[in-house]
Amino acid sequence: MNKILCLSFIIVVNIFFPAHASASVQTDKEETVTIKMTINQQTFDVELKNTPAAKAFMEQLPLTLTMEELNGNEKFADLPRPLPASQITPGTINQGDLMLFGRRTLVLFYETFQTSYGYTPVGRITTPENLGKIAGHKEVIATFTADKKV
């Protein structure tokens, strides 16, 4: 009798409360926003972080920046408007990282290296393999646009 009562209770709970289980699964999943970055007619997908800085960056799109060379591993340019900063010290910068230095300088890293500097994460190029060749050691023009998804 106790087994039947216990089984009945489990069935009733699952019938009346299924939304709680599925809702918790959905809230754990972080939605990502993808934008496009074009340099020298090569387009890259940039997956933005779920941060205030990335959201404020997206509000400035479309955006074309002349990015200057620095240190043989990065390009940088000042944004038209500052972004909210929440710096971290990543230790390792990876090829394809898009970060904010200070509140207004957008930095695109085309080489992986170690650093002690602090940055605010904005996004990451999903497939950065050819980025070093395309970015090279010269000034580049980078165009950032919202990904058109319907």
pLDDT (tens digit per residue) in 3-48: 554 445 455 444 544 444 333 333 344 578 999 999 999 999 999 9
Length of the chain: 150
Q: Quick one: which of 85, 125, 76 has its CA closest to 105?
A: 76
Mean pLDDT of the chain: 84
Distances in whole angstroms, Cα of residue 98 to Cα of each of 10, 13, 87, 102: 49, 47, 13, 13
Q: What pLDDT score does 137 carry? A: 75
Binned at pLDDT 50, 70 and 90, residue 2 comes out as: low
Q: What pLDDT score does 148 carry? A: 60
pLDDT digits (tens, 9 = 90+) for 77-127: 999 999 999 999 999 999 999 999 999 999 999 999 999 999 999 999 999
